[in-house]
Structure 1
Amino acid sequence: MKKQLFMIMIGLFAIILAACGASSDSANEENTSGAAAESEKEEMTITHELGETTFEKNPESVVVFDFGTLDSLDALGVEIAGIPQENVPSYLSKYEGSEYENTGSLKEPDFEKINEMQPDLIIISGRQAELYDEFHEIAPTIFMGVDTSRYMESFEENVTTLGEIFGKEEEAADQLAVIEQSINQLQEKVKAEGKNALITLANDGKVSAYGAGSRFGIIHDVFGFTPVDENIEVSTHGQSISFEYIVEKDPEYLFVVDRGAAVADGESSAKQVVENELVQKTKAFQNDHIVYLDPDYWYLSGGGLVSVQEMVNEIEAGL
């Protein structure tokens, strides 16, 4: 009897030891898992036009103040936390939903709201450049505007960087390759036509011209249209011109971006303004080569994976 009792006690002791060992192994696994998770939080440093910014890769909470960047992130399937919900391009209207925080406007950010959000990363561009320090005090901030003097190189660098930040390198490369192929095809068609062009922005009855190296200069610099005037000044708002100037230069293609349609609930008046009696004397009008460009892509969200592809599509359709 004593022997049986002794054997039972030994068995119970063995069970207790096994349980303790399993608990210890489990704790070790958890510690190892936790350490691995910590090691996976890789930091990266981005050098940009306004400075150098260090942050963790794959940030979870991102505030975006550049619609071109928003366009690319949407195309890459990256979720964002908030945007300025004023004048959002119609094809990105889902970001006006209540599931996204409204961070003010492009020119007047809601810093109180952004501070409440405590984002992991903020992405800005030219319209917010002067406020960089205020953004950077809240969270790591990078500038990601397109350098129009080297449009395609800058655009490709931005998309590649986004791919690296969010672990979407392959997707970014694939989409850039598709755009590059479509641009090559467009260039061949433009070269075959050999026409000159004038790019204009219509705004409240006034017209401005944009040449090579400008915000819309991709039409000359990348797509291959010869500028009708090589001396147009490069500026954000374009060179103010008269309708007499358009007649004098007599472009074979006249490209028009309607700013009013971009900022006034999509109401376009550019056609009535541009196609007046004077402009009707030009080759562009007489050959049905006045092309109205979608301001969503050209004015609001240039430099995105979708917008650049649509730019190519619109110019090709205009041919």
Structure 2
Amino acid sequence: MSVDQQDQLGSLKQRTLQLGELFDKQQQAQAAIDKLDAQIAAVKPQAAQAGRGLVVLFSGGKISAYAPKSRFSFVYDALGFASALQSDEKDVRGNKLTPEQVAKLNPDWLFVIDRDAATGRPNAVAPQKILTAPH
């Protein structure tokens, strides 16, 4: 049930249909896919005009940025945001950045994934504190 990183959206749809079949919920699975397709269709034209985006993962006080065709590339590949990363480097584990480097990239949109909050890490530093700290 893993997701193909080279085709995240297609893989997500395929896995949704497989789960729908497994649990005899094919209609609900297809309805969820149709809803997702409609939402993507609504966002994509706006994303194309919205400027550059940057997907970052915060974990343990560290920042990792993700490029198109990487593990969090849905924002770029499916939604159509241009990447603020100038590099062709597509590190699946993310490109390590400092807050200063994020500021220098100056993305129009910053998509933040807070792993510490998702995993309930105690005493974690919030991403906004890291990004807004004096550099």
TM-score exceeds 0.5: yes
Aligned 8 A contact 1:209 1:232 in 2: no
Deviation of the 1:163 alpha carbon: 1.8
Which amino acid in structure 2 is aligned with residue 209 of structure 1?
Answer: A
Structure 1 counterpart of 2:63: 207
Q: Distance between the aligned counterparts of 1:175 and 1:253, measured in 2?
A: 26
Which amino acid in structure 1 is aligned with residue 129 of structure 2?
Answer: Q
Question: Where do 5+ consecutive residues of structure 2 fail to align?
Answer: none
Aligned 8 A contact 2:61 2:125 in 1: no
Aligned 8 A contact 2:69 2:90 in 1: no
Deviation of the 1:154 alpha carbon: 0.2
SS at match of 2:130: helix
Between the aligned residues of both structures, percent identity stands at: 26
Which amino acid in structure 1 is aligned with residue 30 of structure 2?
Answer: A
Q: Distance between the aligned counterparts of 1:250 and 1:231, measured in 2?
A: 18
CA spacing shift, 1:250–1:232, aligned 2, 3 Å: farther
Structure 1 counterpart of 2:103: 247
Of 230, 237, 257 in structure 1, the residue corresponding to residue 113 of structure 2 is: 257
SS at match of 1:146: coil
CA spacing shift, 1:277–1:232, aligned 2, 3 Å: farther
User: Does structure 1 residue 170 correspond to structure 2 residue 27?
Assistant: yes
Aligned 8 A contact 1:200 1:207 in 2: yes
Structure 2 counterpart of 1:154: 11
Within 5 Å, give how 1:1-319 maps onto structure 2: 144-193=1-50, 195-229=51-85, 230-235=87-92, 237-264=93-120, 269-278=126-135
Instruction: Name the Cα RMSD after superposition.
Output: 1.9
Q: Distance between the aligned counterparts of 1:242 and 1:175, measured in 2?
A: 38
Q: Distance between the aligned counterparts of 2:125 and 2:39, measured in 1?
A: 29
Higher helix share: 1
How many aligned positions are there?
Answer: 133
Question: So what's the TM-score if we normalise by structure 1?
Answer: 0.39
SS at match of 2:64: strand
Deviation of the 1:265 alpha carbon: 5.4
Aligned 8 A contact 1:213 1:234 in 2: no
Q: Spell out structure 1 runs of 4+ moving beyond 6 A.
A: none
Aligned 8 A contact 1:258 1:268 in 2: no
Larger gyration radius, structure 1 or structure 2: 1
SS at match of 1:156: helix
RCO (CA 8 Å, sep 6+): is it higher in 1 or 2? 2
List per-residue Cα deviations over 1:271-296 (Å, max 9, x = no partner): 10122234xxxxxxxxxxxxxxxxxx
Aligned 8 A contact 2:60 2:125 in 1: no
Deviation of the 1:219 alpha carbon: 0.4
